[in-house]
Amino acid sequence: MGNSMTKNQHFVPQFYLRRFTNQQNLVEVLDRNSMTCERPRGTRRICSAEFFYGVETGIPDEASQKVEEWFQKREDFIGNNLDSIVEKILNDKQIEALDKWTIALLMSMLWIRGQEMRKQIHRIEKEATEWMIQTEYSIRPDRLFDEYEKKKGVTISAELRMKFQEMIASKEFEIQPNNWMHLQNLENINGFANLFYHQYWTVYISKASRKFVTTDNPLATRFPKSKGLLQGKSFLERAHYFPLTPDIFILATESHDAPDNPGIRLKRKTLFGGGESEVLELNIIMARQAHQYLYAKNKKDLEDMIAEHKRQQEFFATPEGKIAKAQLDAERQD
């Protein structure tokens, strides 16, 4: 692997995070768990981990280096085109199909490469493996051990077999997946970019004093209510929330256009002074799905969120607020 291997690997790329830095090239930081502001930080050591793309997180390997190289090519493509796209959005110029697809590629890349996707894949892999083990054990209890002995050339004692059987029967065992399935899923980035592209986009432009913030999970998702017991929630039916810059926020939702519509399904919505509450609402949606940290160009935008959080907590403590909170919780579980 050599001495030039990349150790600190970002799950949110620096070229994106730098768009939220202040004049000192730092981002303001809010800890979602404590709802307190921390000292400003540079982008080099946030949204990253040592060998995040290793088959085992934290352990150097060839896979992590290949993934880093693979991402660098895509980041270079997006980064080289993003300034001109942002300029078009802010100055009401025509957005071309390639412009929208470039942002869709960024959205897909952030969504698939991050902590949330890895967490979901680990959960699915863990549940599936546990189910297979328990199913196999219920059919042929000794088969698992016989195959292991044959593969490894070892002998498992009757006492140890009994102990393992008790653990399987009582579900007192835990599967610890590695990152291989998540790394394989990176191949789907272009495919999901096409899905993001074909959603209908509302592009918010904040010309108010309040600006958009981002997080360590910069692509938030909301699921629609089920339309029936047998009808699932497809990707295109979901609402996706993405702060592109402190001035630009994209809401991608289900498109109701005809399939042969040649347009790129996008509209702008400029928010002036009267739209500050809408900026705050979008920021709160992002905060709810952050893993731990929110990042902003201006500390005031984070302080506004702290104040709103306090106001909501006080309201939810009232009888009316408890009813409202129960309704919100029910909607999130729907």
Q: Is the pLDDT of residue 224 over 80?
A: no
Average pLDDT of the residues of the chain: 90
Q: Per-domain residue ranges for the chain?
A: 8-122+178-333
Nearest to 90 by CA among 272, 275, 268, 250: 268
In whole angstroms, give the CA distance from residue 97 to residue 262.
10
- Res 229: pLDDT: 46
- Res 150: pLDDT: 86
- Res 152: pLDDT: 85
Q: Is the dihedral of CA 319, 275, 278, 306 positive or negative?
A: negative
The total number of residues shown for the chain amounts to: 334
User: Which residue matches tokens 């926020």?
Assistant: 249
Contact 5, 60 (CB under 8 A): yes
More confidently predicted of 327 and 221: 221
In whole angstroms, give the CA distance from residue 301 to residue 284.
11
What H or E segment, with its residue span, contains residue 302? helix 299-316
The whole-number average pLDDT for the span 224-248 is: 80
The whole-number average pLDDT for the span 153-163 is: 84
Phi, psi of 253 (to 5 degrees): -130, 180
More confidently predicted of 313 and 245: 245
User: 160-212: per-residue pLDDT in tens?
Assistant: 878 877 777 777 777 889 999 999 999 999 999 999 999 999 999 999 999 99
Percent of the chain with pLDDT over 90: 69
Strand residue runs (E) in the chain = 8-10, 27-31, 36-41, 48-50, 200-206, 214-215, 220-222, 239-245, 248-253, 266-271, 293-296
Percent of the chain with pLDDT over 70: 92
Q: Is 305 exposed, middle or buried (0-12, 13-18, 19+ CB in 10 A)?
A: buried
- Res 140: pLDDT: 76
Q: Is the pLDDT of residue 157 over 70?
A: yes
- Res 114: pLDDT: 95
- 51: left (phi > 0), else alpha (psi -120 to 50), else beta? left
Other CB atoms within 10 A of residue 242 CB: 24
The whole-number average pLDDT for the span 277-300 is: 96
Nearest to 210 by CA among 284, 124, 126, 289: 284
Indicate the DSSP class of residue 314: H
- Res 285: pLDDT: 95
Nearest to 111 by CA among 206, 252, 205: 252
Which pLDDT band holds residue 330 (cuts at 50, 70, 90)? low
- Res 322: pLDDT: 87
Q: Is the pLDDT of residue 332 over 70?
A: no
* Least confident interval from 21-35, 38-52, 141-155, 296-310: 141-155
What are the residues facing 251 on neighbouring strands?
A: 202, 241
- Res 270: pLDDT: 96
Please list, in sequence order, all residues whose beta carbon lies within 8 angstroms of the beta carbon of residue 326, skipping any fewer than 6 positions away.
none
Specify the pairing of strand 48-50 against strand 220-222.
unpaired
Chain Cα centroid distance, residue 204: 20
- Res 230: pLDDT: 45
In whole angstroms, give the CA distance from residue 199 to residue 261.
12
